[in-house]
């Protein structure tokens, strides 16, 4: 596992929503998501080549620049068709919106 400092956010929230959900009045939030989890960087790179994040039963490779989920497992399973994952910045907590050193354990 890499312990090098990286210039990407330490934490994101992943929202699992129905694919057909329209934009409405802004991005989806945890209250309207089918499932959500706050994930933190592991300091590793996933198979997709992007940083790996995990927490709350989710393991995701996330492109931190575009906030795109490049790979996602929920409780060890792939996401069903018709569902989509959205990435939002966490509203609070250390490292929520800035670059910090990744978790080392």
Q: Count of H helices and E strands in the chain?
A: 0, 7
Residues in the chain: 105
User: Rounded mean pLDDT of 2-29?
Assistant: 72
Query: 103 near 91, Cβ under 8 Å?
Result: no
Residue 3, pLDDT score:
42
Q: What is the pLDDT of residues 37-59, one digit of tens each?
A: 999 999 999 999 999 999 999 99
Rounded to whole angstroms, how far apart are CA atoms 45 and 53? 9
């Amino acid at each position: 596992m890499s312990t090098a400092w990286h210039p990407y956010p330490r934490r994101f929230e992943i929202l699992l929503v129905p694919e057909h959900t329209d934009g409405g009045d802004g991005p989806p939030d945890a209250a309207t998501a089918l499932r959500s989890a706050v994930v933190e960087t592991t300091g590793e790179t996933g198979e997709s080549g992007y940083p790996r994040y995990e927490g709350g039963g989710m393991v995701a490779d996330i492109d931190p620049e575009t906030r795109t989920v490049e790979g996602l497992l929920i409780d060890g399973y792939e996401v069903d068709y018709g569902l989509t994952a959205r990435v939002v910045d966490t509203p609070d907590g250390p490292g929520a919106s800035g670059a910090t050193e990744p978790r080392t354990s």
